[in-house]
Structure 1
């Protein structure tokens, strides 16, 4: 069973490579609020919808002090194609060994078309200025998720 993070937990730190080859470390973003979301695969319908929705709301998220980090097991090269194809304006990070996904409870058993498989569990976390998780949402639906999150955050 995958360990799930809860509000109040300290966000597990990580350093991952983005789609440009730059390393991004979560703890370097302390002092600001961060939305960390995990998605199964770039350029698939649900993941594209979610990334485009976050990009569409980037201005309001920036104005409210939030940085958005999208994490998938995709390699940086695929993430770069995803960004370019969809005109994405959020940071996309690569976790090919799935170590960060596992540390955040976003990789494990899930149901897909009625079958139990092991894979990425679409999840979203809100991390406060001190590195504490204020919201932990697992098994979110891509469609409408960003809108619901903005309402929850009163943005």
Structure 2
């Protein structure tokens, strides 16, 4: 998929819901680096995705994505294990603005509410998803390819993303 791809309605709806978001890259030695994201937003034109990470947890990942300009993010819905992976480039980093802080607050609240019925206690879920505005960074990238990652025979299949579904 080319860097001008546009995320479909269905993909945008999925990645902006109460999903667990794991972000990955690698360094020069091909050693992986990972971090959790605490929310996601898709640009109005769907040409950029922004992930919100805890700077204090994501040091190696942030270094790797900025140096090597490669990122992969997996979005997994805990209730069903439905998952998508999005790979991209043209990575940029900034402090989270007020919009980003609001995205994180909404995502954290939805995620906590979504895992409680699965048997996770509220205090555990809130501690797991705790992030402060001062420690929040926005990691933005251009999506290049979307993969089905739900366990099963379709896992790893590239999806034909192109705007409205």
Mark yes or no: TM-score above 0.5.
Answer: no
State TM-score, norm by structure 1.
0.30
State TM-score, norm by structure 2.
0.29
